[in-house]
Structure 1
Amino acid sequence: MAKWYESANFYHIYPIGLLGAPRVNEGGEVVHRFPVLTEKWLPYLEEEGFDAIYIGPLFESTKHGYDTIDYKKVDRRLGDNGDFKEFVNKAHELGIKIVVDGVFNHTGRDFFAFQDILKNRGSSPYKDWYKGVNFGANNAYNDGLSYDTWRGSGDLVNFNLKNPEVKNYLFDVIRFWGEEFDIDGIRLDCADVLDFDFMREMRGVTEGLKPDFWLMGEVIHGEYRRWIEDARLHSVTNYELWKGLYSGHNSHNYFEIAHTVRHLFDVQWGSARGCRLYSFADNHDVGRIASNLQNPGHLKPVYSCVYFLPGIPSVYYGSEFGIKAPKEHGDDALRPAIDLDEILENNPMPEITAWIKYLNYLRMAHQEACTYGEYRELLLMNRQYVFSRSTGNDAVIVAVNNDDSDASVTVQVPLQGCYYDYVDEIEYPASDGKITLNLPAGGAKIVVIK
């Protein structure tokens, strides 16, 4: 039986940013910002055709959300557990699945176990919960001890995921999220450095919650199949495609994107090639796609690739409006507050918002071909690229153009018949098994078999 995540259209929310919460948690009273997501954003996303949301980090933290204080409490800057429960319930009523951040590689320094180590040192029952704790050294906080951190960030203390007590604690956290909030999956932060045995054991825990519970990992480099094989995760982030999407358009070189697809699914993937990677044009850690592109007019072909190349498509909040933010301006710039009513009224790129909505609905209408269909290159040149996704009775042809001029392409169709463009309302009867498509400059055209 097909799983929901195989054909999902994801929307990615960084809630501390979107809701305009303070970047530092000063404690104090709970501020109920979450109802804005429930009452305004969920109906909007349902109307736009998104049927899954990846949201996080959510749980009580000191600053950016990844320095966890309490895994069982929604961050007070966002609301409380009741607010998040209501959000999930409303999402499910609208047919939208919810996936949350699982920050299991490290905690913040304010997490109870680390605080106990600082207080009780060698007599702390939690001294083996973290990697590399050394009471004969020191750190930047002058605690009189040292410890392993994530990429040298002293406020992110690495868990010892081989410690059975730590694993049992985190598995209990996951069961709590499933039972308390009825979530549908977890995106694993820093999956590229997580212990493989931990991930495999976690898979067993989550399958006990829901048979279709989804596990997706943040992996930047490496052979992606290593995180999929041996019943670990279901999917990982496709950073290889992310890089190719903007650089292939900037250099007018569709060979880069096509080569990435071949590498991932013909060379690297091997026995795990049936997996669908998590595809995206940007996220909370990288520059906005409208900034990464030298020509923001290429957003239509970029998102056409995100949605119809093999994978699970995701849109980062606000990028459907063409929001710009380069990485060099810092992470906060990548994670802005957005007033939904205001941006809908003063939309800087309404044509992109409409295009992404169209892609959502087109992918749903041709779900079998777009999810399970064979990928085939029909034409590949530096500035034009045409590919298809097809099954025995359905076919979608996607043609993209990174040139500054219009282009005309003739391709062999994957299935005989008449093809249709819903945007321009034009039929394309196949002649000798071929059709000719006229592509706008920096644009895209998608036709489907009637």
Structure 2
Amino acid sequence: MAWYDEAVFYHIYPLGLTGAPKQNTYGEPKHRLNTLLPWIAHIKDIGCNAIYIGPLFESVGHGYETTDYKKLDSRLGTNEDLTAFVKECHRQGVKVIFDGVFNHTGRDFFAFQDIKKNRENSRYKDWYRNVNFWGNNEFNDGFSYENWGGYDLLAKLNQQNQEVRNYIGDVIRFWVKEFDVDGIRLDAADVLDFEYMKELRRVANEVKPDFWLMGEVIHGDYNRWVNEGTLHSVTNYHLHKALYSGHNDHNYFEIAHTVKRLYGMGGNRPDGLKLYNFVDNHDVERIYTKLIQKAHFAPVHVLLYTLPGVPSIYYGSEFGIEGRKEKHSDDSLRPALSFDEYEHAREENPYTRLIGALGKVRQSTPALSYGDYKELTLTNRQYAFSRDYEGESVIVTVNNDDNDFTMNLPAGDAAAYVGALSGEKVDVNSGRISVSVKANSGEIWIPLSKGQALNAGVMADLGKVDADAKVEAVEKATEKVGKSSAGTAKRIVTDENANAAVEIVDEKVAEVMMESVEEKKAKLESRDTLDAVAEKMIDEAMENLAQSDAAQKKPKEDKRECCQEAFEKGRITGLQEAILAMMEKNGPVTDQMKKDVMDNVYHDSLINWIKSFR
């Protein structure tokens, strides 16, 4: 398994994000690339573990008219800046791939300049396609040549020329040696010569283990490009179109049929075609702009993160920003963004929270990267499928209707499922689950089997709980009890609402205790740890209680007793849930075993029982 099999990409157009000038004067380097360093932690925080960034190298304008393949664009900085950027990405566990513009060059590229200067005597006259010294071009050079896309600014390389192939191969080797890059996205791969791509693949296999080649391909049979001899992956424009139009037209048949066709291209195997999935990029309008009903942002991204393929987020779209394609300009698709403006988006922006939650679910659920795909149900407005891997069946449900919808679906070999985004738990009855999918929403149903107790509650909070922190998780989960408001404090000390207080504490403690087995073991290492947490929770609650009118009427001892009782009841419930989850890991749990656990309400015994599983 290679790193890209489990990748979640973040796509950066650096000249746009950094606010670089539209034209390059080739002057002193401006170190704009360094302004992207703070973004790395954000990218990691929303669950992305790979960056596709480019174009990066010296060019005259938008970046795709390359002037020098071995020099970072002066508007972005120096080669040392790029080396440092990749190094910092790697330090934070993020892979990096560059944009490889190997179909054409700009007119300022040294080989083209030599042709202008020496004409028929240039040793580089065969580096470009169909150079004709009897013709002319829009720049009045006195010769013509084949361009890309009708733009004389982009001179098309002669990819059959072995010198060109050797030169580009050396560029790739230089990028790996100088910058330690992990892969390349080939620009305009759908018009590259196939023998040329095969040679690039041989270089990729040589320079670095698991070096990834992904190509920009718009339409066609993707198998022509994705195979052992050419590329590892291509851009999935088929699915891109289906995802937004399938929601705008309330037509999940379009999406499901597109997935079925693509899955068939790969031999109906999840490893057959590992396509690069996206809902927007630097060449197409933002997904938030394209969606007629903005609420469809949620089901669109649930599908992006769960369907077969490698998901990618285009910078800024995790904030729900607009971007409309304009005549003769893509500037609105490639805006400058200030990191300071979005620094707290993870906590404040619902779109960012959703993307962060999906990223965490994707990285913690191998079935979404490796699992077989099977369609379970399909209507114009509802769609469900499973991803099965190593005996685990993950079920995905989406709904583009304005009303909630209940689905009855075949389930895997598990006693229950939990919604990774909502925390809702549903039991399996006769091999099926009945789930309610909220209007214009989606859910990822994770099986609770083989001792896996996925903490859906924490995932719904965007995975903020650090698996290595023994106490921090409990503290964060209980902040809403102790610090949320005076109203909550009053509820805790009001006799008639005592049950509500217990429910609040019970819910938050249970969330933490329902984390994975290994996390539970770490948090339950000793009675002392739990007692210290209990004391901290009680003290924090008491500080807030003291500020409420109701709290002032009760003696300190009564307040402590009330909070202590609420915590103990919540903690016991959490411990019982943890014990049952661990018992499931070791084999079937009978009703009597469950009863024994639930009847044992003395926390000392429960803690000792938990410790026995270590």
TM-score (normalizing by structure 1): 0.96
In structure 2, distance between residues paired with 1:252 and 1:201? 44
Give the deviation of 1:425 after TM superposition: 2.2
Q: Which amino acid aligns with 2:359?
A: N
Matched with 1:353 is 352
| 1:11 alignment partner, SS class | strand
1:395 is displaced (CA, Å) by: 2.4
The residue type paired with residue 32 of structure 1 is: H
Q: How far apart are the structure 2 equivalents of 1:137 and 1:348? A: 60
Match of 1:15 in 2: 14
Q: How far off is 1:423 after superposition? A: 3.2
Give CA-to-partner distance per residue, 1:37-87, whole Å, 9 cap, x none.
Answer: 12x101111122210000000000000000000000000101110001001
Q: CA deviation at 1:350?
A: 1.3
1:111-122 pair list within 5 angstroms: 111-122=109-120
What is the match of residue 320 of structure 1? 318
Native 8 Å contact 1:322 1:348 kept in 2: no
CA shift, 1:202, in A, is 1.1
- 2:41 corresponds in structure 1 to 43
Aligned to 1:175: 173
Q: Distance in 2 between matches of 1:37 and 1:280?
A: 22
Aligned to 1:93: 91
The aligned residue for residue 191 of structure 1 is 189
Distance in 2, matches of 1:8 and 1:153, equals 35
Deviation at 1:26, TM superposition (A): 1.4
Residues in 2 aligned to 1:155 and 1:375: alpha-carbon distance in whole angstroms: 44
Aligned 1:276-295 pairs, distance under 5 A: 276-295=274-293
For 1:347 and 1:335, the matched residues in 2 are separated by: 22
Residue 31 of structure 1: aligned partner: 30
TM-score (norm 2): 0.71
> Cα distance, 1:417 vs. partner?
2.6
Number of residues of Structure 1 aligned to a counterpart in Structure 2: 446
CA distance in 1, matches of 2:268, 2:176: 30
3-state secondary structure, aligned to 2:430: coil
Larger deviation, residues 432-441 vs 52-61:
432-441
What is the rounded CA distance, in whole Å, between the counterparts of 2:326 and 2:404 in structure 1?
34
Query: Are 2:56 and 2:99, in contact at CA under 8 Å, matched by a contact in 1?
Result: yes
| Contact 1:419–1:448 (Cα < 8 Å) also in 2 | yes
Structure 1 distance, partners of 2:200, 2:390, is 37
1:291 is paired with a residue whose SS is helix
- Counterpart amino acid of residue 440 in structure 1: K
* Corresponding position of 1:339: 338
- Please list, as runs of the form range in 1=range in 2, the aligned pairs for 1:121-270 lying within 5 A after superposition: 121-266=119-264, 268-270=265-267
SS at structure 2 position matched to 1:57: coil
**Structure showing greater relative contact order (alpha-carbon pairs closer than 8 Å, 6 or more residues apart):** 1
Q: Distance in 1 between matches of 2:47 and 2:263?
A: 27
Instruction: Give the Cα–Cα distance (whole angstroms) in 2 for the partners of residues 132 and 398 of structure 1.
Output: 52
* 1:376 Cα deviation from its structure 2 partner: 0.9
Any idea what SS the aligned residue of 1:228 has? coil
| C-alpha displacement of 1:230 | 4.8
Distance (Å, rounded) in 2 between the aligned partners of 1:285 and 1:348: 29
Whichever structure has more helix as a proportion of its residues is 2
Q: Which amino acid aligns with 2:9?
A: F
Q: Please say if 1:419 is aligned against 2:417.
A: yes
Identity of aligned residues (%): 53
Of structures 1 and 2, the larger Rg is shown by 2
Task: Determine the C-alpha separation between the residues in 1 that align with 2:429 and 2:347.
Answer: 41
Task: Describe the shift of the 1:283–1:170 C-alpha distance in structure 2 as closer, same or farther (beyond 3 A).
Answer: same
**Aligned mates of 2:40, 2:276 — CA distance in 1:** 21
* Deviations 1:76-124 (CA, angstroms, capped at 9, x unpaired): 1011100010011111111100000000000000101001101110000
Between the aligned partners of 2:363 and 2:14, the Cα distance in structure 1 is 27
By percentage of residues, which structure has more strand?
1
Structure 1 stretches of 4+ with a deviation exceeding 3 A read 268-273, 344-349
Contact kept? 2:12, 2:52, Cα under 8 Å: yes
TM superposition shift of 1:270: 4.3
- Give the 3-state SS of the residue equivalent to 1:192 in structure 2: helix
User: Alpha-carbon deviation of 1:344?
Assistant: 3.7
Give the C-alpha shift of residue 314 in structure 1.
0.2
Alpha-carbon distance in structure 1 between the residues aligned to 2:387 and 2:344: 36
**1:292-341 alpha-carbon deviations (Å, 9 max, x no partner):** 11011101111111111000000000000011112236311100000111
Paired residue secondary structure (2:225): helix
Unaligned runs of 5+ in 2: 449-614
Q: Contact 2:346/2:356 (CA < 8 Å) preserved in 1?
A: no
> Which residue in 2 is equivalent to 1:308?
306
Who is 1:274 aligned against?
Answer: 272
Query: Aligned-pair RMSD on alpha carbons?
Result: 1.5
> Structure 1 residues 105 and 348, CA, compared in 2 at 3 Å: closer, same or farther?
farther
Q: After alignment, is 254-263 or 394-403 more displaced? A: 394-403
